[in-house]
Every structure is written in structure tokens, then in C-alpha cells.
Amino acid sequence: MTQLPFLRLFLPRQIPLFSPARSFFHTTAALKAAQASKKNQLTMATVNTKTGKVVDRTVLDSMLRRRLFYTPSFEIYGGVSGLYDYGPPGTALLNNIVDLWRKHFVLEEDMLEVDCTMLTPHEILKTSGHVDKFADWMCKDPKTGEIFRADHLVEEVLEARLKGDKEARGQKVVVDEEKEAKKKRKAKDAKAVKLDDALVKEYEEILAQIDNFDGPQLEQIIAKYDIRNPTTDGNLLPPVAFNLMFQTSIGPSSNMPGYLRPETAQGQFLNFQKLLEFNQQSMPFASASIGKSFRNEISPRAGLLRVREFLMAEIEHYVDPEGGKKHHRFEEVKDIEMSFLNRNVQLSGSTKTEKMTIGKAVETGMVDNETLGYFIARIQLFLLKLGVDPNKLRFRQHMANEMAHYAADCWDAELLTSYGWIECVGCADRSAYDLTVHKNKTGAPLVVREPRAEPLKVEEWQVDLDKKKFGPRFKKDGKAVAAAVEALSQELREKLAIDLEKNGKIEVDVEGVGSGKVELDQDIVKIEKRTRVENVREYTPNVIEPSFGIGRILYSMIEHVYWAREEDEARGVLSFPPVIAPTKVLIVPLSTHASFRPLLQQLMTKLRRMGISNRVDDSSASIGKRYARNDELGTPFGITVDFQSVKDNTFTLRDRDTTKQVRASEDEILQAIRSLVDGEKTWEDIRKDLPEFTGQEVD
Amino acid sequence: MTQLPFLRLFLPRQIPLFSPARSFFHTTAALKAAQASKKNQLTMATVNTKTGKVVDRTVLDSMLRRRLFYTPSFEIYGGVSGLYDYGPPGTALLNNIVDLWRKHFVLEEDMLEVDCTMLTPHEILKTSGHVDKFADWMCKDPKTGEIFRADHLVEEVLEARLKGDKEARGQKVVVDEEKEAKKKRKAKDAKAVKLDDALVKEYEEILAQIDNFDGPQLEQIIAKYDIRNPTTDGNLLPPVAFNLMFQTSIGPSSNMPGYLRPETAQGQFLNFQKLLEFNQQSMPFASASIGKSFRNEISPRAGLLRVREFLMAEIEHYVDPEGGKKHHRFEEVKDIEMSFLNRNVQLSGSTKTEKMTIGKAVETGMVDNETLGYFIARIQLFLLKLGVDPNKLRFRQHMANEMAHYAADCWDAELLTSYGWIECVGCADRSAYDLTVHKNKTGAPLVVREPRAEPLKVEEWQVDLDKKKFGPRFKKDGKAVAAAVEALSQELREKLAIDLEKNGKIEVDVEGVGSGKVELDQDIVKIEKRTRVENVREYTPNVIEPSFGIGRILYSMIEHVYWAREEDEARGVLSFPPVIAPTKVLIVPLSTHASFRPLLQQLMTKLRRMGISNRVDDSSASIGKRYARNDELGTPFGITVDFQSVKDNTFTLRDRDTTKQVRASEDEILQAIRSLVDGEKTWEDIRKDLPEFTGQEVD
């Protein structure tokens, strides 16, 4: 995962992995304005359901827990923040999303799916840069032992002061209630203290770019504005980097330190050579992986959106860096329209999205290349299949100072939720960075070699050593000297050729041999310009990486499909598309009457044989209550078994979203369900095909 | 996982988790004999393919790696033992097995699948017993720092001595070549030294029960027989327990130690209460979970069979301990015949299996109860669907000294491979152990409460304390004293009632209060026998746990479906059943001629739309070579596109196992493939339906 997409919540929050040095005092005014406006917009995000009601997160969350979509892990032991278990409907939803992902990406595009270990030895993550740079800054209170994430702390304290200022000025304060509730438990209430206008401006500017600061900058801010432990008012130690990887050791001797992987990507890169071979040396191709990754967050607090153990699905698409990164299926997607929030718009201080086809976006150069564009379009298609609201989806381009230094371009699919715009998929051009560092470290040829159509002729300076004389002369140092000569650059060779011509000898730097300089006479060395013919082209592929945070997608999508009926505001409805709904069919007998039982069994068995998940609810609750319960579980269809069914084997089929019913024979009902679940037909089609049923009251 | 099924290889290898103290010197002669005979049988296991050839593991393994079913993780960095990545065909196979598992168990039986975190805080695994007892014994060489698993070391050294003895006696030595090859790399060759007959017997007895020894016993053996580092002959330190869990710490302050879970079961148990609620308080029910677990093996050396990170699928079926643990669907499986190796047969020194229906096995009491029996039968059905050879499958009952102390019965599904009989599924009655320990630790009501049909009347001794006098009298100790009184057993209460009657006062033990004894007068305490009426029955359910090691099943099953054609011994064939084959259809054009391309595209698209994975091989290799390559990948069907296809849209369909072909229209071919993949038809059916094709030579 290049851009570390899963670490941003309210703002484009940034983790300093490979991030270029950021200049605190040189941020442009435009950028500040853009970030400030975004910030203001997001912390107050109110989002509406399809009926126009505001999404009440507290109500939704309580419903999701009550229906066991998810639950804090180890709750009977008090729980651990940032760790959640998925209950039966959550797990089924997760599995169905993964299944759809696999069909939409892996199967559709012949990707090479791999399953690599989570345990990863130190050396690999040292090479990839994670050991040194995959960190957040934290401050410790030396007295209480409390630990704060430095940027969160600055944010919290300055926001509290600004709030106090507004109160002192008699202005209305807009409050994020959940955030407030959490603060109240620990922090002293902000005092209503009026601040200097200049200071207010400074605070606002800091908050607007809170994600841009590194440790020393945060330290400066904490000192300058006297930021302390909000609870005790105690002084804090300067920020130190805290690596976000979970460490362990592999094997019994404790001498092999390892980590739980922070992304699935590295395992894929390490197998590049074998995957290329498996693909019969054919380029381009993609590998893919679905699995858990881990981040030891300092103080995770946003439900399923910021967790320490999470399911990722990542694609590494390997492409020739030459030839403009074309994609042979781009034609199929080029007319798809999407909402873009490009870099320049953000820099101009706006967050206004622009509708455009992906074809146009690539043509104008806004999106760097066809391959990147192809995946952006495919990501949108995937998200829409899941039930994401197209009006709450945008693709936001990373700004220059947000991108890792090796990236050519990066776009995030963001979904609008009550937490603001949430980055759910990152789509980055990761260039040749990873394959190069692993190749350099191990010497493994993580490259593509392909025959050239036309042999390439290279004019170059070549150095010959007279082996016979060379060996006896340098003895044990021979190897080092030869290697140093071999490593000479073309520029140096050219210069040395002139020296040799002129002086009859040259001097070469050889570390660790003699004085570090070695003299070579013209009887032992020869330097000539010659033509070399290359029949094979060797290159390190670039990587386009679509990276999906499945848990974030799941949660954000739930907010999109969630609503409540006007006649029953207390109960929610989750309008999952049938393909991902945890259970497809609810079977409800009119009552617990024994004559219904064989029919229930028969329906269950037949549906199962069709591979359609179903559940019987034969509890004594009213039919209406039983349906309402299953609306909250997002079950799209319901079959009611009544006394008529016993007589003539006909059943009613209910649609979750409209609550309309049709009635038909068992065969017709089952066929209708199959075509609805397969996506071949919509409920509107079924209503045309089968007679409506209005007789039985859903009480 | 109760019985720790995944820690046994050649023998019923046992890890001392909850294992009862084993008496080294009191093992019965019969058991020794049984183990010895088993041992001899297994280390020499030769297994035949369906054509009667011996499975050559070296050849098979090299094929599996060449075809990228799996590969050592981090190989370009030198690899780490016990960690493997699955490549594309391995991953697809794994996914298909998981998918089938989910259909066969979760969907079929309405199980509540959950997805719990792998990160687990210390306290939970302390309670479950894993922190204290989930360990192997290891010895360290203080000079070289080398670490040995104690039982493996004893085994290796004694076997080498016995081999030397046989050589000295001029006997033929049967050699496990792979094992030998590994030893040669490190150990000195065994010397041909003749041993005393009595000593030979002692060695053989130790080897026969090598898995039964705990640390102190191993220490004794190592000292008594002077066992040293086989490479350097250096003395070793005494065995110490090494916990097999990977440790880490959660959160930034390092004060929350945690582990990677060693089984998925604990997460399921912790959520019991919520799951029961989700199931509308209805019993029995099952939860299930599929996910990675971790064991930090000391020196794993058996490929995919003993790894540090592995995929498990576990079911926890909660059942009322009263009423004989009946199962309402037992009727459906009772006539299934299976091979049993029961406890008594093993104790009598034999490993002869017995064929019997599961109905009979439960009826005779050999299998403890219907629920256990039901799952044993369902496990067999599942394994057979995967392609397991029924002649290489047996259910082996744990012997008394093998079972954890809380288990009522335990049966392992074992598959015969070139490594011997491999335990792939454990099916244990885990009793109420886990729910009880977590309930006791946390106070969470991990119990079932159900209304009694008839209220239960319980005669019991009840203790009343006079609150008014009690409080002022004991002040701050009041709570402790009241708790101690409350905890008194019925026996004690009866005794105390008599004391009170006789002496007018009683004495109660209260830890931490005064001298540890507290006196209560008859004016403050009253003890009477009364009748209590219970309308609700409360009980802790028992757990039947089928636990699947997916990687082990995958590998063992591959050995079962592997064979080679007589005409091409160098190439293997993997006869996966279509439902789990990594790729279902190979599409091969006769040549790279451009006129085939539209047809290839058309077939690919149509198959994908049907959800059938397929791959085109348009390389320049001969058709025969391309098919052979895909035989090694286990692709069951092949479509050949030739010039006739271009003319009339007919294609040939090839069956991997028989290499026979039929020819028909595109529609007929696609329909045939769908019915083959769905398992509705067999190749024999298709051959009857469609005309055979013999024209085109598969060269």
C-alpha cells in the first residue's frame, strides 16, 4: 500500500512513510485555505439517508452491534481498542464482498492470486523502509505514564482553546457530540478564554495542516504553544517516533526478529520472479492478495474505520514503464463517468468535484496513464456493485506533498460518511521502487527480460584486464580490484582511457586494499570504446497498486444503504444488493403451526441446493416484527408460508425495500429468487412477471 | 482445538497442553507394542498412486514447487523454515476448499460464522491455559547456541545408534532417504557399534513412546543415555519448556502483552453469550470460524504439514450435556460406513481398522454420542468430496493418555501419505471446559438459561444472615464474610447447622479477615433446610469441536489425487475433482493463428459469465505439451479451438483423467462443462451425451 490510505479520517491524514521532507513554513496560502475549508466541512459532516433523514451514527451503531454485525473483541474481558470481531451477518457480508472482489478483479482479469505469510522477518521490512519510517509520533507524560499521539494531542488542545475563544466571543459553537462525549470523560472542560486574533489565526493554520508535521515540528508547536496533558496539565516529553508494526520473534532462539505485515504487498513483490515465470514470462500481468494486515495504532477511536488488525485486498499490476503504460482493455471503460477532485482544484482552495469520463481524464493528462485510469474505473464499478451511493463517491488525487517520493500519481476512492470523506481504496503508481530495493538487497533478478525486436547497439567504454598477469600481481586482493574496475562508470572509464593513453598507467579507488588506491599499468589493463549488441531488453516493471480496505468499505457502504421507514423510525433497513446480502432469503411461517414444518424444510433444502443462503424465523413474534428484524439484517427477500401454501404449494415473496409481495407456485418463486440473486432480474421485473399479493397483512 | 491435532506427524505426537501426568514406567506392554508396530510401519510408509506406482515425494514436491502451488516464503532472502506462501494454483485450491467447507458445514447447518481477531491479549490465553501449558521441550547447546527440540533429539540419536547396531550385526538397514539426507548435512555418520541386546530393547521402548515424555522424563533419558549434540558431541543444558505462541505487545506502552492466537476457538467462546442471543436463545447451535492461527514451532521440517502460520477451520457446536447429546440429523448419516481404529484395538498392539456404520459405532458406544458421530460422518463426506481416497482415510480414537483431561472422547480423521498417517481433522468433545474457565474468570454468564417444563424443587440448606446486626458487627470485613458464607457447600452447611444447634455459634473460614476464622452467633446467623423452586434451568453447554487443518488436508489430498501416465512418467497428473480444481477449463488454440483469437475471447467471456475459472494457453508449445502442463495443474477440462471451430463454431472438450475428447457445438460444450463443474454429471455421462472425437492427435 503505497500511500498508506488507511490512516486518514477527517482529513487527508498522513503517515510519514517515505514522505518527502515537508516545509512547515513554506506551505502555500492556497493549500492552507484548501485544507482549512476541507477541515471545516468534514468535522461537521452530516449525511442523509435515501429518505433525506440525517444518518444518526449512534442509532446505526447500536443497531449494528445489536444485530451482531460486529462487536468489540474480548468484550467480556473489557475489550481492547482497535480490535473488533465480526459476528455472523458481518462475517457473511465480509465473505460476500471478498467473493465479489475476487470475481470482479481476479477472475475477470486472470490475476495471479497468492497467499503469503503475515509473519515477516525484520530484514525484508528493513529493506522496504517500514522499519525506519512506518511510524507515528507520540508524547509521553512522564508522571502519569499516559501516551498521546502527538498530532491528535495538538489538535485536541488547540480545538479546545478555539472553542473557549468562541464562547468568550459569544459565538455559536458547533459540536461533534461523540468527540465531545469522549473528551468529557478525560479532559477538563475548555475554559471560555478569549484569544488574540493573531493567535486564533495561527491555531487555525496549524490545524489546517496538522497532518503535515513531522516530529521535530510537532515538538516545536508543543513547546511554543505550551501544550500539556489535557487532564493533569502536566508537561510532556518531546515526541518520539513509534513504529506501527507489531513485533515478535520467529523460532525459539529469539534471534530472528519479525513483524506482522503492515500490508500484503511485500509478499507479492518477493515472489515477482516466480510469478513472471508462472505467467510464462508474459507482461503485463497482476498479482493479487486478500488477507489480514496489522498496524499498532497509538490510540484508535473510530470504530471499524481505524483498527489494529484489518482485511486488505491488494493488486500489484506490473507494467512496462516504457510506452506510456497503455492498457488493452481501457477501451471498455473509457466512457464511464466519475467524480474527480483533482490536485489543482484542491490547491486552489476548493473541494468541488468535477464529473468527467475516465477517457477524458486520461486524455487531458489529469490521470497519469491508461493503466491507472483503467483501475480507477474498475474500482468505481466494483464499489457501485456493493451498493455504494454514486453521489457519495469521489476520486481524490493526492497533492504533491502528500505523495510518496516514488509515486507518479495517486488517486483515492473516498466515500462520504458521517465521519466525513473516508479513504477506502488507494490507487497508486508505485513505480519500480519496491522491486528495485529488494533486487539491490538480495541480488535476485526481479526484472523482466525480453528479446528485442531490433538488437540494440550500445557504444561504450570497455575495460579488459590481462588475467595472466593480474592474478599473480594482486593475489588475494584480485577479486576486490577486479570488482572495483568492473564498477567504474562510463564517465570515469572515458577519463581513465585518456590517463592510460597519456601516462601508461591509471589509478583506481579500491576500498580496503593497500592505501585504498591501486595502480594499473598498460600491460595489465586496456580501455577501449567498442560497440556492444544487446539482443535482450532488461527492465524493472512499474507497479500500479489498487489497495482496498475491506472493513472501511464495508462500514461506509453500510452507511450508504442504511435508512428507516417513515412508519417505523425506530427500526432501520439495510438495503444491501442481493449479491452481498448476508442472508438472501428469510422463510417465515404464518405461525408455529405444525403443518408448516414440512414446507419450511422443503424450501430450505431447495434453496441450499441452489447455493442460496436462507434462514427460517419460526419464532412466535408477529410476521411484521420478524420482517422488521430481518430488514435490520439486510435480508432482501422473504417467503411467507401460510395455510394456502399447505393447500396448493404457492407462496408469497416479499421485497425488503418496497415491502411489496407477489404470490406464485414454489417453482416460480424459487426461479424468481435465483434470478434476483444472480442479478439477472430486478424486483420490478418480478412484479411484472408474477401476480401481486395484497391479502395478508404484514402487521 | 482441544487435542492439538496439528502437532503429530509420524506418530501420535503429543504436546503437553492439559495432558495428564503420564507415567513413564507404567506404560502397558500392549501399548508399547502398538506404538512400536505403528512406528515401524509409519517411518517406512510407502504409498501408491492409483496406477500402483509408489508416490515419490521428491518428484511430487518438485512438481508442486515448479507449478507454484507453494513456495518457501522470503526465498530470495534465504527463507524461514515453517513459513510458506501459496502461489496461484495453491491459493485457488485453498479458496475452493474453504468455499466447499463453508457450503458443506456453515450453509448446510445454519452455523454462525464469526471472524475474530488473531491478536489476543495475555489474560485470555492465561485463562484458557495456553500461557502455562502450550509448550514444547527444548535443549540448548551452551557452546554453539544451537537449540534442539528435546523429543526429536532423543529420537534422532537413538535411531542413529540402532542403525549403527544393525550395521555392526550385518543386518539390512531400511533408510528414509529424505531424513538421511538431512541428517548427513549436520550429524556425524552413525558408527557401526554393536549394542547390548538389553540396551537395544530399551532404546526401542523409548522410541515407541517418545511422544509421551514430559520435560523431566526427557531430561532423565538424555542423562541416562548420554545424549549430546549430534554434530559437536557437546553436552546440552536440561530441557526447558518453550511456549509455542508468538508474543507481541498491543498498543504503544508495551504494557499489554498479547499473542497471536494458537487456535480460532477462543474468540468463538468469548462471544458465546452474544451468539446465543443472536440465535434467539435456541439450543443447540454451532459457531464456526475460518482463519489463520500461529505456532512458533521449534524446528519445523515437514513442508506444508508443520508450519508456523496456518489456515484453520473450526466449528464449536454447543450442546446440552444432558439427554445423551442426541443430534436431530443423525438419522441422515447413520448408514455411512467408515474405517475406525478404536482405542482398544490400539491398546491390543494392532493398527487394524474396522469397517462399521457410524450408526453402529454410536449404538455400541464406541463413539461416545450422536452429535460426535454426526460430525465424524460429515467430516468423512467432506473429505471424500475433496477427492480423498477412501482407502487412505481412517478415524483414529485418542487413547486415554493422549486425551486432554476434560475430553469425553476424541477422534481424528487421518489421511495416509508418504509421511505416514497424518492427522488432518480433529473431532473432540471439549466438554464445558472453556466456557467454564472464562465464566469463572470474568463473571460473564456464558450459560444457557431455559424455562423448565416442570419447575424443579430443590431441598437444600439455606443460610440467612441478620443484615441489621451483621453490618455493624463486621464493618469493612462484612463483604468478605458474607461471600465466604455464601460459598459454603451443602455438606458444610449441614454440618454447621448441627454445630449451631449444639453450640449456639459456628466458625467459618474467611481468608484475610482476622485470624482467618470468624465466629457467628445464632442471633446473627440461621441455617435451615428449605425447598427452593427453580423455574429456569441454567447450564453450561458442552462443546463438540471439529477442527480442520486446511493446509494439511490440501497437501494430503494432493498426494491422493497425484499419479503419472504410463506413457509420460516424467509428468504428473493431479486429478482434483472439478469443484475444487484451481482452474476448471483450459482453452487451447491449435496454433497462434490470428483467426482463433475471437473464438478464444468469446469462450473466455462466456465461461467467466458462468463463474467458471478458465485460462487460455496460446503459447507455441505443442497441444500435447500444453495439456501435459495443465495436467500438472489439475485442470480437469480442455477446449481445443481448431480450424473447424472457425468454420462451424464446434469445439472439442477433453477430459483430463481419460484424455478422451468429445466434439459438439459451443452451447453443448458450455452446458456440459457447467454440469461437470456443478457435479450434476460425470465425464461418463458426457461421453454418452456427446459424440466422441478422435480426429485430432494430441501429440
The answer to whether A615 and A583 are in contact (CB under 8 A) is yes
The answer to whether B113 and B288 are in contact (CB under 8 A) is yes
pLDDT at A189: 53
Is B448 part of a structural domain of the chain? no
- For residue A193, pLDDT over 70 is answered with yes
**Residues of A in Cβ contact (< 8 Å) with B251:** 80-81, 296, 298
Q: Does B254 touch chain A (CB under 8 A)?
A: no
- Report helix, strand and coil shares of chain A as percent, to nearest 5: 40, 25, 35
pLDDT at B32: 42
The answer to whether B141 and B234 are in contact (CB under 8 A) is yes
pLDDT at A185: 43
Is B354 part of a structural domain of the chain? no
pLDDT at B486: 85
Is A217 part of a structural domain of the chain? yes
Q: Does A253 touch chain B (CB under 8 A)?
A: yes
Of B223, B243, B263, which one is at a domain's C-terminal end? Answer: B243
Q: Which three cell numbers stand for residue A35?
A: 485544507
Same-domain check for residues A606 and A518: no
The answer to whether B132 and B347 are in contact (CB under 8 A) is no
pLDDT at B10: 29
Confidence of residue B173 (pLDDT cuts 50, 70, 90): low
Dihedral (Cα; B338, B343, B344, B348), 10-degree rounding:
110
- For residue A212, pLDDT over 70 is answered with no
Lowest mean pLDDT across A410-424, B19-33, B663-677: B19-33
pLDDT at B35: 44
Mean pLDDT of B335-363: 91
Same-domain check for residues B601 and B526: no
pLDDT tens-digit profile of B502-514? 998 998 888 888 7
Confidence of residue A568 (pLDDT cuts 50, 70, 90): confident
- For residue A229, pLDDT over 50 is answered with yes
* Residue B634: CATH number of its domain: 3.40.50.800
Q: Which of A102, A103, A117 sits opposite B309 (nearest CB)?
A: A117
Tell me which of A16 and A79 has the higher pLDDT. A79
Q: Does B318 touch chain A (CB under 8 A)?
A: no
CB contacts under 8 A, A 61-90 vs B, are: 67-68, 71, 73-77, 80-81, 83-88, 90
Q: Which of B73, B77, B103 sits opposite A117 (nearest CB)?
A: B73
Residue at grid coordinates 513413564: B24
Work out the end-to-end distance of chain A between its first and last CA atoms, rounded to an integer number of angstroms.
Answer: 50
Tell me which of B190 and B140 has the higher pLDDT. B140
Same-domain check for residues A592 and A675: yes
CA A9 to chain centre: 12
Domain holding A631, by residue range, is 583-689
- For residue B20, pLDDT over 70 is answered with no
CB contacts under 8 A, A 111-140 vs B, are: 112-121, 123-124, 138
User: By three-state DSSP, how is residue B452 classified?
Assistant: strand
Q: Does A273 touch chain B (CB under 8 A)?
A: yes
Q: Does B238 touch chain A (CB under 8 A)?
A: no
Measured distance CA(B37)–CA(B630) in Å, rounded: 41
Q: How far is A444 from chain B (nearest CA, A)?
A: 6
Same-domain check for residues A595 and A685: yes
- For residue A594, pLDDT over 60 is answered with yes
Q: How far is A266 from chain B (nearest CA, A)?
A: 10
Q: Which helix (H) or strand (E) holds A517?
A: strand A517-521
| ipTM of the complex, rounded to two decimals | 0.85
Tell me which of A252 and A220 has the higher pLDDT. A220
The answer to whether B211 and B14 are in contact (CB under 8 A) is yes
* Residue A237: CATH number of its domain: 3.30.40.230
pLDDT at B170: 81
Same-domain check for residues A588 and A531: no
Mean pLDDT of A478-486: 85
pLDDT at A250: 93
Residue at grid coordinates 480442455: B638
CB contact (8 A) between residue B74 and residue A438 = no
CB contact (8 A) between residue A117 and residue B83 = yes
- For residue A698, pLDDT over 70 is answered with no
Measured distance CA(B33)–CA(B76) in Å, rounded: 46
Taking CA atoms, what residue in A is nearest to B80?
Answer: A121
CB contacts under 8 A, B 573-592 vs A, are: none
- For residue B152, pLDDT over 80 is answered with yes
CB contact (8 A) between residue A246 and residue B248 = yes
Of B212, B243, B274, which one is at a domain's C-terminal end? Answer: B243
CA atoms within 13 A on the CB side of B288: 25
**Residues of B in Cβ contact (< 8 Å) with A75:** 270
**What's the mean pLDDT when you consider all of chain B?**
87
Same-domain check for residues B592 and B513: no
The phi and psi torsions of A309 (rounded to 5 degrees) equal: -135, 120
Lowest mean pLDDT across A630-634, B531-535, B632-636: B531-535
Same-domain check for residues A591 and A527: no
**Residues of A in Cβ contact (< 8 Å) with B71:** 271, 274
Is A676 part of a structural domain of the chain? yes
- For residue B205, pLDDT over 90 is answered with no
- For residue A501, pLDDT over 60 is answered with yes
The answer to whether A248 and A258 are in contact (CB under 8 A) is yes
pLDDT at A12: 30
Measured distance CA(A38)–CA(A25) in Å, rounded: 20
- For residue B302, pLDDT over 50 is answered with yes
Q: Among residues A196, A187, A192, which one has the least CA distance to residue A152? A: A187
Of A477, A502, A535, which one is at a domain's C-terminal end? Answer: A535
Tell me which of A37 and B209 has the higher pLDDT. B209
pLDDT tens-digit profile of B92-135? 999 999 999 999 999 998 999 999 999 999 999 999 999 988 88
Q: Does B674 touch chain A (CB under 8 A)?
A: no
Q: Which of B94, B116, B298 sits opposite A252 (nearest CB)?
A: B298
pLDDT tens-digit profile of A667-687? 999 999 999 998 899 999 999
Tell me which of B518 and B312 has the higher pLDDT. B312
Measured distance CA(A47)–CA(A418) in Å, rounded: 6
pLDDT at B406: 61
Tell me which of B300 and A239 has the higher pLDDT. A239
Is B51 part of a structural domain of the chain? no
Tell me which of B19 and A393 has the higher pLDDT. A393
* Residue A519: CATH number of its domain: 3.30.720.200
CA A277 to chain centre: 28
CB contact (8 A) between residue A250 and residue B94 = no
Confidence of residue A29 (pLDDT cuts 50, 70, 90): very low
Determine which of B68, B76, B85, B244 to mutate to test the interface with A (most A C-beta atoms within 10 Å).
B76
Is A17 part of a structural domain of the chain? no
pLDDT at B641: 95
- For residue A299, pLDDT over 90 is answered with no
Is B70 part of a structural domain of the chain? no
CB contact (8 A) between residue A251 and residue B121 = no
Burial of B169 (0-12, 13-18, 19+ CB in 10 A): exposed
The answer to whether B216 and A108 are in contact (CB under 8 A) is no
Number of domains in chain A: 3
pLDDT at B26: 30
Q: How far is A669 from chain B (nearest CA, A)?
A: 21
Residues A313, A315, A316, CA angle at the centre, nearest 5°? Answer: 145
- For residue B290, what are the β-bridge partners? B313
CB contact (8 A) between residue B298 and residue A145 = no
Mean pLDDT of B217-236: 92
pLDDT at A167: 86
- For residue B2, pLDDT over 50 is answered with no
Q: Which three cell numbers stand for residue A297?
A: 495504532
Determine which of A65, A76, A77 to mutate to test the interface with B (most B C-beta atoms within 10 Å).
A76
Same-domain check for residues B525 and B595: no
Q: Go through A173-190 and write b for each residue having 16 or more CB atoms within 10 A of its CB, e for each that does not.
A: eeebebeeeebeeeeeeb
Measured distance CA(B169)–CA(A487) in Å, rounded: 62
- For residue B39, pLDDT over 60 is answered with no
pLDDT tens-digit profile of A45-76? 688 898 889 899 999 999 999 999 999 999 99
- For residue A28, pLDDT over 70 is answered with no
Q: Which of A81, A85, A107 sits opposite B267 (nearest CB)?
A: A85
CB contact (8 A) between residue B292 and residue A294 = no
Confidence of residue B527 (pLDDT cuts 50, 70, 90): very high
Q: Which of A84, A110, A615 sits opposite B110 (nearest CB)?
A: A615
The pTM of the full predicted model, rounded to 2 decimals, is 0.86
- For residue B43, pLDDT over 90 is answered with no
Q: Among residues B276, B261, B229, which one has the least CA distance to residue B128? A: B261
Is B179 part of a structural domain of the chain? yes
Confidence of residue A6 (pLDDT cuts 50, 70, 90): very low
Q: Does A267 touch chain B (CB under 8 A)?
A: yes
Same-domain check for residues A224 and A143: yes
Question: What angle do the packed helices B550-561 and B88-101 form, to 10 degrees?
Answer: 110
CB contact (8 A) between residue A275 and residue B68 = yes
Mean pLDDT of A231-250: 92
